[in-house]
A and B are shown apart, each in its own frame.
Chain A
Amino acid sequence: MDKNDETRKLPVPAPFISPETAPFWSAAKERRLVLPFCTSCNHPIWYPKRFCGACGSLDVEWRQVSGAGEIYSFSLVHRGEGDYRECSFILALVDLDEGARVLTNIVDADTADLKIGQRVRVIFHDAGDGAALPRFTLAQ
C-alpha cells in the first residue's frame, strides 16, 4: 500500500508553548530550527529547555542549526493514540548534525524507501495560531 497519501494527511497537534521554550517555537514559526546550547559546556540540549543536564548550568543560548541530519531509526505506526488515533504515520528518530537525537515524523516518503542512515532535512507544518511543527523529509 502506498503510504504517501496517509502520511500526508498527518494531524498537526498544537504544541504547548511556555516561556521556557518560546524561542524554539518563535523560530519554528519563521521556518528556522533552533536549539538551546549550554553556554558553559557547549552541550546541545534536547528536548529544548533552559537547563543543561550535562553540566548543571542554567545558562543556555539559542542557536540556529542546519536542520540536516540522518535517520537513527523509524517505524510505520499503523494506528496511533490521541490525535493520531485514526491514522498511520512514520515515527522516527533523527540525529541532527549538531548532535541531538530528536523524535519526529518523516513525511512525504514510503517506508519501503527509508533506511537507517539516510539523510533528511527539516520542514515545517502549520499548527495553527502562528505555531509550526518541525518534521523531516528525505534530503534530495
Chain B
Amino acid sequence: MSIRGKAHIVGAYEHPARDLPNHSVQQIHAECAMGALADAGLSIRDVDGFFSTGQLGFGGVSLTEYLGLNPSYIDATFVGGSSYLAHVGHAAAAIAAGKCRVALITQGAKVRGMVRGAKHTVDTPEFSFETVYGETNAGIYALAARRHMHEFGTTAEQLAAVKVAASEYAQYNPNALLRKRVTVEDVVNSPMIADPLHRLDCCVVTDGGGAIVVVAPEIARSLKRPSVSVLGHAEAIKHSGRGLNDFTSTGATQSAPRALAEAGISLSDIDYASIYDSFTITVIMTLEDFGFCKKGQGGSFVADGALGLDGVIPINTDGGGLCNNHPGYQGGLVKIVEAVRQLRGEATPQTQVRDCKLAVAHGTGGGMSRQASVTLVLGRGDA
C-alpha cells in the first residue's frame, strides 16, 4: 500500500509576521488555521483530522478545544522541526485509510526575545551525558561542520555560499526577516557563534508559524484552488543507539530514496526542493545525502551556483530558514508552504521555478547526535 496520490494539499498558509509580542501561541495557531482553511475554501467545521506537535498544554487536546474541533483522528507527533512534514505523511495515510477526510496541521510559535534554557531537562536520558557539557544546537552542528571540513575539505566560504543563495531569494520576499543580500565575505566576517559556524551560518529566530490542509481526492476536486498531490513520504531516525553515529551525514540518506520510490520518480525529476536549513552545513550534508551531488562535494556544488533559479536544484526560494522564517526553532511547516507555492505557480514572480511540476520538502529535526529526517514528495495537480 502506498499513499501516492491518495491525499492532496489544498490549503497552505505562512503567518506573515516574524515578531508577535502581543499574541498568545494558541492565537497564532488559530490565525494560521483560518488562513490555511480560507486558502483551501473550507470551513473549520469541515475539519475532522487534527495534527500538531502537542507541545502546548495537554498534547494535541488543548488546541483541539481552543479551536473548537471535533476530530475523528488526532496526531501529536513531535520530531522537532520535521514534525510538520511527518504530519502531512501521517495525514495522507489516515485519509487513505478512511480515518478522516479533512486534516488540519497547525504551527504556532513565540520565542523572540526569550532566553533559551538548557537543551534538555534534568529528567531526560541526554541531560547527564550531554547537557552538562553545554551542548547547543549551534555547537552540535559546528561539530558536524568541522568534521565535514576535515574529511572532505569543505571551506567556510563554501558554507557561506548557502547563505548567499538564500539571501538572493529573500530580497524578493517582503515578509522575510532578513531581506538584505549578503556576500561570502559578509558571512565569514560575521561574529563567530560556534567555530566554524558564524552568525550568518545560522537560521533566523522568529515567532509565527503556519498551517496546512490535506484532504481526500474527491474533496480536492470539489475546490476551486489548485491542489498539490502528496506522492511520497518517508521518515528516518538517526542516532547512536546501536553504535557510532557519524556527524557528516543525515537521515536523508534513508528517507529521501524511500520517499522518491513511493512517488515512483527519480531525483532528476525534481524541479524544486525545500531543504531544511537550520545551519548552512545542514543544507550541504542534506544535498549530498539526497544524491544531488556526491558525498563530500556539497561545498563545491553550492559554491558553483547549484542553488540558484537556473542552477541544478533551486532550493528555499522564500529565503528559507536562513533568511525568511524559522518559527520557534522549527522550520518544517514553512518548507511545505514554499513547495506548495512553487507547485501552484504562486511563488514570488522573481523566484518562481518555470513549469514546476515535482518538488520535495525535507526536514531535519533535532540535532546531530540524534535526528528525525522526513522527506515529502509533492506534485502539481496534473503531475
Contact = CB atoms under 8 A, between A and B. Distances in A.
A76 B195 contact: yes
B241 interface: yes
A30 to B, nearest CB: 17
Interface residues on A, range: 35 or more
A105 B122 contact: no
Contacts of B129: 15, 46-48, 102-103
B329 to A, nearest CB: 12
A111 B247 contact: no
Contacts of B247: 72-73, 93
A11 B134 CA distance: 9
A101 B245 contact: yes
Contact of A73 (B119, B138, B150): B150
6 contacts: A76-B195, A77-B138, A78-B194, A80-B136, A82-B119, A82-B134
B139 interface: yes
Interface string B344-383: 0000000000000000000000000100000000000000
B257 to A, nearest CB: 24
A38 to B, nearest CB: 11
A128 interface: no
A101 B244 contact: yes
Q: Which of A13, A17, A53 is packed against the most chain B CB atoms within 10 Å?
A: A13
Query: Chain B contact residues: over half helix, strand or loop, or mixed?
Result: loop
B243 to A, nearest CB: 6
Interface residues on B, range: 35 or more
Interface string B188-201: 00011111110000
B122 A16 contact: yes
A52 to B, nearest CB: 9
A75 B134 contact: no
Nearest to B143: A73
A49 B22 CA distance: 44
Interface string A16-54: 110001000000000000000000000100111100011
Contacts of B241: 53
Given A76-B195, A83-B134, A103-B369, A54 B143 contact: no
A116 B194 contact: no
Contacts of B140: 91
Nearest to A44: B243
Interface of A: 10-11, 13-17, 21, 43, 46-49, 53-54, 72-85, 89, 91-93, 95, 99-105, 111, 116, 127, 133, 135
Nearest to B129: A47
A54 B128 contact: no
Contact of A54 (B131, B193, B242): B242
B242 A92 contact: no
Contacts of A84: 134, 136
A13 B128 CA distance: 9
Contacts of B125: 47, 49
Nearest to A117: B150
Given A77-B193, A82-B119, A105-B134, 14 more contacts: A46-B129, A46-B240, A47-B130, A54-B243, A75-B139, A76-B192, A77-B142, A78-B191, A78-B192, A78-B194, A78-B195, A81-B117, A91-B139, A95-B244
A100 B192 CA distance: 29
B136 A21 contact: no
A105 B133 contact: yes
A103 B135 contact: yes
Interface in B205-243: 240-243
